[in-house]
Structure 1
Amino acid sequence: MENSAEKIGNSQDILTHLLLRLPTKSLLKFKCVSKQWLSTISNPQFCLSHTRHRQHNGFLEPTALLLKPYLTANLEFDMVPLKHYSEVPFFHYLNTSGIILRESCDGLFLCQPLDFHDHGDTRFFICNPTTKKFKILSFPSKPPTFVNLAFDPLKSLHYKVICIRPAVSDEDYDFEINIYSSETETWTATGIDFEADEESIMFEGIMFEDTVVFCNGKIHWDSVGNESLYFDVEKECLQKMPMPTLPDGSDIISDMDRYFGEARGTLYIALAHYNLGHVDLYVFEMATDYSNWFLKRRLDLDDAMRVFPEIKLGCLLSFSGLSGLCFIQSEKEKEPKVVMWADGKIICYDFNDGSWKMLYDPGPGVKIGSNQIKGLNHLHRQRFLAFKYFENLSCI
Structure 2
Amino acid sequence: MRKTYEGTNFWTKEEEIPTLPQDLIIEILVRLPLKTLLKFRCISKSWLSLLSNTEFHKTHVNFSMNNPKMTDYTLAAVATVSGLGKICRVYTISSENSSVTVSKHGCPPKSLSLSAWLLGSCNGLVCLTTDSFELMLLNPCTGKFNVFPDSIIHYEVGDGGYYFRYGFGYDASTDDYKVVKIFSFPQSGEGRHVNMVNVYSLKANSWSNIQGFNSGHINGCVGVFANGILHWEGCLNCHISGAYSEIVTLNLATERYGKIGLPSYEDGGIIHWTLGVSRGRLVACCNYELNRADMWVMKEYGVERSWTKLVSISSPVDHSVKISPLFVAENGDEVLVMLGTEITLYNSRNASFKRLADYVSGDFLQVQVVTYLESLTSPHI
The counterpart of 2:274, out of the listed 259, 266, 274, is 259
CA distance in 2: counterparts of 1:33 and 1:224, whole angstroms = 54
Report whether the alignment pairs 1:183 with 2:203. Answer: yes
The counterpart of 2:287, out of the listed 231, 254, 272, is 272
Q: TM-score, normalised by structure 1?
A: 0.68
1:113-166 CA distance string (max 9 Å, x none):
2x22xxxxx31011111111111122476489433111278x885322223348
CA distance in 1: counterparts of 2:183 and 2:343, whole angstroms = 39
The counterpart of 1:374, out of the listed 344, 348, 362, is 362
The counterpart of 1:148, out of the listed 161, 164, 167, is 167
State whether residues 270 and 289 of structure 2, in contact with CA within 8 Å, keep that contact through their aligned partners in structure 1. no
Report whether the alignment pairs 1:135 with 2:146. Answer: yes
Amino acid across the alignment from 1:390: L
2:240 paired residue number: none
User: Structure 1 residues 347 and 98, CA, compared in 2 at 3 Å: closer, same or farther?
Assistant: closer
State whether residues 80 and 87 of structure 2, in contact with CA within 8 Å, keep that contact through their aligned partners in structure 1. no
* Structure 1: tracts of 5 or more residues without a match: 117-121, 168-172, 303-312, 362-366, 377-381
**Distance apart, 1:299 and its partner CA:** 1.7
1:156-188 CA distance string (max 9 Å, x none):
853222233489xxxxx7543333333343444
2:176 paired residue number: 158
Point out the structure with the larger strand share: 2
**Distance apart, 1:28 and its partner CA:** 0.8
**Distance apart, 1:230 and its partner CA:** 0.8
User: Structure 1 residues 22 and 139, CA, compared in 2 at 3 Å: closer, same or farther?
Assistant: same
**Distance apart, 1:388 and its partner CA:** 1.5
2:252 paired residue number: 233
User: Structure 1 residues 267 and 13, CA, compared in 2 at 3 Å: closer, same or farther?
Assistant: closer
1:100 paired residue number: 117
Amino acid across the alignment from 2:143: K
**Distance apart, 1:342 and its partner CA:** 6.0
CA distance in 2: counterparts of 1:79 and 1:393, whole angstroms = 18
CA distance in 2: counterparts of 1:206 and 1:41, whole angstroms = 41
Q: Secondary structure at the match of 2:357?
A: coil
Amino acid across the alignment from 2:120: E
User: Structure 1 residues 6 and 14, CA, compared in 2 at 3 Å: closer, same or farther?
Assistant: farther
Give the CA RMSD over aligned residues.
Answer: 4.1
1:119 paired residue number: none
CA distance in 1: counterparts of 2:327 and 2:205, whole angstroms = 33
State whether residues 222 and 228 of structure 1, in contact with CA within 8 Å, keep that contact through their aligned partners in structure 2. yes
Report whether the alignment pairs 1:194 with 2:194. Answer: no
User: Structure 1 residues 70 and 234, CA, compared in 2 at 3 Å: closer, same or farther?
Assistant: farther
Which segments of structure 1 move beyond 4 Å, counting only runs of 4 or more? 11-18, 57-62, 70-73, 83-86, 139-144, 243-246, 285-295, 341-345, 356-359, 382-385
Report whether the alignment pairs 1:213 with 2:224. Answer: yes
Q: Which moved more, 1:179-188 or 1:340-349?
A: 340-349
Q: TM-score, normalised by structure 2?
A: 0.70
1:2 paired residue number: 11
State whether residues 230 and 251 of structure 2, in contact with CA within 8 Å, keep that contact through their aligned partners in structure 1. yes
User: Structure 1 residues 280 and 147, CA, compared in 2 at 3 Å: closer, same or farther?
Assistant: closer
Amino acid across the alignment from 1:128: N
**Distance apart, 1:250 and its partner CA:** 1.5
User: Structure 1 residues 140 and 112, CA, compared in 2 at 3 Å: closer, same or farther?
Assistant: closer
1:280-338 CA distance string (max 9 Å, x none):
22224558546579672662538xxxxxxxxxx12x3x355x755324351x5xx6853
The counterpart of 1:48, out of the listed 40, 55, 58, is 58
The correspondence of residues 1-396 of structure 1 with structure 2, limited to 5 A, is 1-2=10-11, 6-8=17-19, 15-56=25-66, 61-69=71-79, 74=86, 76-77=88-89, 79=91, 81-82=93-94, 85=103, 87-93=105-111, 97-113=114-130, 115-116=131-132, 122-139=133-150, 142=153, 145-151=164-170, 158-165=176-183, 174-190=194-210, 192-195=211-214, 205-207=217-219, 209-210=221-222, 212-225=223-236, 226=244, 227-243=246-262, 246-252=265-271, 258-263=273-278, 265-273=280-288, 275=290, 279-285=291-297, 288-289=301-302, 296=309, 299=312, 301=314, 313-314=316-317, 316=318, 318-320=319-321, 323=323, 325-330=325-330, 337-340=334-337, 346-349=344-347, 355-356=349-350, 368-372=356-360, 374-375=362-363, 384-396=367-379
CA distance in 2: counterparts of 1:213 and 1:233, whole angstroms = 12
Q: Secondary structure at the match of 1:55?
A: helix
Amino acid across the alignment from 1:283: M
Q: Secondary structure at the match of 1:48?
A: helix
User: Structure 1 residues 57 and 49, CA, compared in 2 at 3 Å: closer, same or farther?
Assistant: closer
Amino acid across the alignment from 2:252: V
**Distance apart, 1:33 and its partner CA:** 2.1
Q: Secondary structure at the match of 1:66?
A: strand
User: Structure 1 residues 358 and 126, CA, compared in 2 at 3 Å: closer, same or farther?
Assistant: farther
CA distance in 2: counterparts of 1:296 and 1:134, whole angstroms = 38
1:308 paired residue number: none
